[in-house]
Structure 1
């Protein structure tokens, strides 16, 4: 299954914050002027998953792949009478957008919107994978494949949980210093090795780490991360968005020997129920966010941000709309 269908024209952008301009009929929880985070997975609070206490995979407001609104399967954008499609129910690369009320989370008026916006996807996804999905324990060992915003947030979450060894794996040598500031204790560049990275990890951890996290979105790396775990109890969590081959292939023995492979969507957080507490942690300086923003760019220079991303020269570029 593709994460998103190839629909164009389209308004992209999914990690954002904004100010409520107007509310639709029947919406009572928001009013004009409210500050909100927009999220790509909503929370209806009434479906099987929302009431289960086990999952954030809302059946009514889950990942939207068709480029339309959840409520009526229609777009709210058009040009000359022809539809312009939404992206992940957010479409934040626009001065104005329309989102379902279940995909918006109210935040305080005093938190900086140009930083707390990272909690609507990347930072929360990383922290939640550690705290909610893997439930990393104090004194444990962790390997993280990919030190982008999500991977660094995994490192931060592992450090806050008291992990004793946090191994960062990335082909970009510049990530080594940045990783240290988020809790990475050991850095490995696979391009500099003469043997598979999983063999190195197993050697320096006496048989493998307790937890590994695949933050790249590469199905081949999922298998590598699984092999980097200890047999008997090792847990691998995959949370990268797949970009190429979607099928995961690994040897059956890696699972038979007691390893566990888990998936994580938005870190297991229920946005309306859980995001306010993360915003509070940010406001109290209990979690790092600001250090992940490498560029602040005006909306009319958005192509510069895309170029920086494609050239691997940034972590997060925050796009500022005209005022």
Structure 2
């Protein structure tokens, strides 16, 4: 492994990575080769990374994301730039950065429109497994003979990784990188859904279905916005204590009810909440979230990943009742444009990030981090590289 004592610019770096060889198989820590960045690419040294449910779903093979093997998963991280490729002018060696799976090229019709944070060229694509520049990978086996594929524009389960510059955000060097790791996905996705997508208003009511890291981040965002009632719904009651710490005022365990959840919420809120957030990736839950909102103006924000081919459980005529439903990607944040400002807000203490890091482990114990998430014992397990 490169010790960092000499300049590695333009050279192949040998380092450790957690390689996925097949769905459900334990990740293997082994030495790989990481090629130098090409035009408009950046190679970074990962200092911290964490495991998200999207990594877990891909690892399990629950969707089509894991067609390419071997592969390096991971998309929540923070690190330091080791070198930049030709044409990269907004970042340089030594900058502190966080990768983002939802890129921002700055030039496409979507990037130029303030109504969306999507990007035509570097949007999230779980089937993408190579770099945009030349359709090839930057990872290889130790002997350099066989390619190892990329994941979600990022591949952070490696000591070094190469990203398109559009998928990398420079942040203040004073920001604590271990906490900034959370901004790569979970915190930005949840808080952004409350702020940018729903635009939660002071005094409003909110229902959050699924109290994983994203759902609790929604609660934190709603709390900061001044929501008066925040209802958390989960079948795992161990999530409730953590929910209280981020502002959830009421809790519902569907297993304890003899009526549908939406009826219970309707009784608690004089007809329904102003905003509901579906963070579970379950169609039955999505319908309950939709029906839990207020007749006339309720808004449901969809955040959960739904790999099933089943369609929305909503009749078209139900949309004439004034309720709306909308999907949210990365909390509506334009990564390169808006995330640096969001990071500064987090540095100022407006959001409580400490509650989300429930475990910390050395990188070599990444399979333990996966198991903690499988068992519902962790929100985010921070891995130190």
Q: Does residue 302 of structure 1 match 2:363?
A: no
Whether the 8 Å CA contact 1:215–1:238 is kept in 2: the answer is yes
Q: CA RMSD, aligned part only?
A: 1.3
3-state SS of paired residue (1:184): coil
3-state SS of paired residue (2:118): coil
Q: Does residue 256 of structure 1 match 2:320?
A: yes
Unaligned 5+ runs, structure 1:
none
Q: Does residue 73 of structure 1 match 2:129?
A: no
Aligned to 1:150: 214
Q: Residues 106-146 of structure 1: CA distance to partner in whole angstroms, max 9, x if unpaired?
A: 11222111111101110011111111111111111110001
Which has the higher mean CA deviation after the structures are superposed, 89-98 or 78-87? 78-87
Report deviation, 1:277: 1.0
Aligned to 2:39: none
For residues 287 and 246 of structure 1, do their structure 2 counterparts lie closer, same or farther at Cα, with a shift above 3 Å needed?
Answer: farther
Q: How does 1:1-323 map to 2 (within 5 A)?
A: 4-64=65-125, 65-79=127-141, 80-321=144-385
Q: Residues 227-260 of structure 1: CA distance to partner in whole angstroms, max 9, x if unpaired?
A: 1111110000001122445522223343121100
| Distance of 1:153 and 1:281 partners within structure 2 | 15
Q: How many residues end up aligned between the 2 structures?
A: 320
| Distance of 1:3 and 1:106 partners within structure 2 | 31
Q: Residues 71-108 of structure 1: CA distance to partner in whole angstroms, max 9, x if unpaired?
A: 22221112252221101010000111000111111112
TM-score scaled by length of structure 2: 0.81
TM-score scaled by length of structure 1: 0.96
| Distance of 1:11 and 1:99 partners within structure 2 | 13
3-state SS of paired residue (2:154): coil
| Distance of 1:81 and 1:220 partners within structure 2 | 47
Runs of 4+ in 1 over 6 A off after TM superposition: none
Q: Residues 153-182 of structure 1: CA distance to partner in whole angstroms, max 9, x if unpaired?
A: 111111111111100001111111111110
Q: Residues 246-297 of structure 1: CA distance to partner in whole angstroms, max 9, x if unpaired?
A: 5222233431211000000001100011111111011110111111001111
Query: Would you tell me which structure has more strand in proportion to its own residues?
Result: 2
